[in-house]
Structures are given as structure tokens and as C-alpha cells.
A and B are shown apart, each in its own frame.
Chain A
Amino acid sequence: MFTRGFSGRRPPSNTAGRVPPGQHLVDDFPVLSAGPTPRIAPEQWSFTLKVGPKPVKTWDWAAFNALPKKTVTRDIHCVTTWSKLDTHWVGVQIDDILADAQLTPPTAFVLAHSYGGYSTNVPWADLAGEKAMIAVDYDGQPLEADHGGPARLLVPHLYFWKSAKWVNGLQFTERDEAGFWELRGYNMYGDPWREQRFTGD
């Protein structure tokens, strides 16, 4: 159906092909989270790679930041319908984390875990091959707590709830296990180009 009297505000023509269906562009960087903002000092922060319940390796802030850093510019898409183009991030690619731990991916499924109890599932295939990183800088500055600092997962090709804020670990799981929002009605995969917002989309 058409909505009587609605013409809308289309994205500029030079962004054609970059704004997924149902999304609109923003210039600011909205903050959405389900609870109070965790305030984690870098010296308290650590990151643990696990296979099932078993820790493989833990890095403190200094050791983690000594891993190879990459700079990326990506478009990001929030399930609440805002998209933001050309966001700049610095972080450690997931490939380099596994390499440092000398771990060969043991399963096809990963749960990201965060301070504050948040979690989200991402298939290994969506983390591997330079597709995802643990980001520590945004737009040339250390990542602010509101946006997930000290560190957040960045998986920009999926809806942004998959890019877990305040991340403190990745865990390989035997099966594709639902995380916080996936248990509460959000899609297990979250491809913005297929509008996989909620369960069954």
C-alpha cells in the first residue's frame, strides 16, 4: 500500500547502493543500549578467547594493543533504522587475534561476550577474512564508553547490535547459540540488505 500524502526524504543520489532498505542516514552517532553504561578503565580491561568453556588465551589492555592494528572505513546500519556512512575505526582484526593465540577455528559459531552481561552470536565466517575487528579507536579518538569503549566488536556488514559494545571475549560454540537480543526476538543473523531485523524476517 502507499501512504497517503507521504513523499519522504530519500538518501542523496551519491549514496546509491549504500543505504539498505528501510534505513535512513544520520550525521550524528546515536547511542542505544539496554542498561547503564559500563565504565571500564583500560587497566581493568581484559579480553579472553575461549573454546566452549575453556579459555585459550587472555590479553590485558597493553598486550592486546601490542597486536597488529588495522584502520578501516565502513558504513554501519542499526536495526532501529539509522545508517551512518564512512565511519573510521582502528582495531585488531579477529584473524590476528586467533593467529596470536595459535588457534585454528574449532567450530563455525562464535558468541561475543561483554562487560555488563551482553552477548551476541556471529558465525565464524562473518568474523574471518578481515571482515571484523575488536575496535579501540573511533574517528581518531579512543572509543568512548557510550559507544562501547574501551573496546567493541565491529562487524559492519551485519546490523549493529552484532557489534557488541564493551566486548571482553569471543567464545567458539558447538551450535549457533542465541545472544541477548537474539533471545528477545531479534534475528539470528541480521543481514541489513535482507532486512533481517526480527525472528523470522
Chain B
Amino acid sequence: MTDAATPPPQPIPWQTADVVEIVTQTPRIKSFFLTLAQPFAFAAGQHVDVRLTAPDGYRAMRSYSIASPPDDRTRLELAIELLDDGEVSPFFHDVVAVGDKIELRGPLGGYFLWPPGETGPLLLIGGGSGLVPLMAMLRHRRAAGLTLPVVLLLSSRTWDEVLYREELLALDARRDGFELVLTLTREPPRRPGDFGRRVDAAMVLDVVHRLPSAPNLVFVCGANRFVDAAADGAVAAGIPAAQVRTERYGA
């Protein structure tokens, strides 16, 4: 119910975005760089809804997390994983080309986002393309010159499937309070301190202890089974459930 004196809230408008660059990031993930007709402010961790319309008016809609930081509004980056039986991701991977126009609206999502003024420490846990909203957070931390302690635990199948691998390694090498921990589920680890198995409670406890003190917030993003394992691990490590925020790639 809206008070009579309050105007009804305006819907978030659909707008057209131009595809200006496409980058193959891993064998199954491509980045789509978009310029918007009406650029918007957003928080790291938010997503957009993308809407595709067929000639007969049929529409398909999906949500994609924003990978680029809010500090750069000139281009929006969506990193989209190819799902073999998908309807929309194969279209992006096989059909979309530079110069195409895509309809979207945003920003959307009011919970899985970088908390303004946060002093940390923060623990980020991502599985595969679940890194995307966490990457926007890490890029924001770097672009804004923030120094709060952050550990990222990232699970990937193989070294070659580590999304944004070179950028993450470069961030890690800065030693500015950010630490990258990789776990590979189908290969042995390549760096000291990394893991070579699926995320479990012992691994989460290990990375919690790499922070200077217990994390204020934990952000977990990925497929549901991954998120359950990581979030249960965080709770088992003594972090209150209310401080563990999850985003599950459900469909």
C-alpha cells in the first residue's frame, strides 16, 4: 500500500546497450562489454536483467551479474558462462557480435553487494563463474584505493578455467591486504597455499585464518551445492549466519 501523498514508485526502465567488445576469458566464459544509452550508478555485486525479443514477440529474460566496477561507468562488463542446454547463453556465445544492440535494465539486487564504508575484513568465496560479482567488488576495492583486508577463495575446475586469472594474480602480487587462494577440482594446485579439491569446511576454516581477524561479512556465489558447502563451512568456522550472504546460480 502506498500512502496517498507518496507518488507510486517508478519501475526501473529498460534500455538499449551497444555491444562494443567481446573477449573470450576461458573456454566457457566470454565477456561482453556494453555501452548504455543511460549509464546508471550501481554497487559492486549487483546484476542486470537482459531481455531478448524474437521477431514474433517471444521474449526470454535472464539475470547476469556485473563484472565491471561501479567506478567506471563508461562500459558495463557482463561475463557469461556457456550452458550447454541453455536458451540465452548459447545465443550470447554463438550469435551476439560487436555492434549488436541488447535490451537490459538495472541495477538490480539489494543484498549481495559491497557494503558502503565497509572496513572489513571480508571473505569472498566463488565457484567458477560465481566469481563475477566478487570480481566487481575486488575491482572496486582496487579502483577506490581501499585497503581493507580481503581474501578470495576461488574454486575452478582447472588452471585454464580460472576466470580473470592473470588479473587476480596481479592483484595478489600487490600485497596490499588482498590475498588470492585458488582451489582446482580437477588438477593439482600450482601455487603454494592453494588447494586441489572441492571446497569443504576445513578449507573455509583455513582461509578464514588468513585474515587478520574474523570476517565482518562473507560473500559466497556459485552453483547451489558449492554455495551450501562454502556457507555451511563459514558457519562451522564460527561466523554468524546473518553475516554470510549467498547468491546461488539456480537456473
A residues at B contact (CB < 8 Å) = 1-10, 21-22, 24, 26, 28, 30-38, 78, 80-82, 116-117, 146, 175-176, 181, 183-185, 188, 197-201
Contact = CB atoms under 8 A, between A and B. Distances in A.
B53 A6 contact: yes
The B interface, classified by DSSP as helix, strand, loop or mixed, is mixed
Contacts, number: 121
B12 to A, nearest CB: 6
Nearest 7 A/B pairs, CB to CB: A184-B110, A30-B250, A200-B11, A36-B231, A200-B9, A82-B251, A30-B251
Given A2-B55, A7-B54, A35-B246, A184 B111 contact: yes
B164 to A, nearest CB: 24
Interface residues of B, number: 46
Interface of B: 1, 8-12, 16, 49, 51-55, 58-63, 87, 91, 95-96, 100-103, 108-112, 224, 228, 231-232, 234-235, 241-242, 244-246, 248, 250-251
A31 B224 contact: yes
Contact of A8 (B87, B242, B248): B87
A194 to B, nearest CB: 12
A21 B59 contact: yes
Contacts of B53: 1-3, 6
Contact of A80 (B9, B60, B96, B251): B251
B101 A146 contact: no
Contacts of A200: 8-12
B109 A4 contact: no
Given A9-B87, A200-B10, A32 B103 contact: no
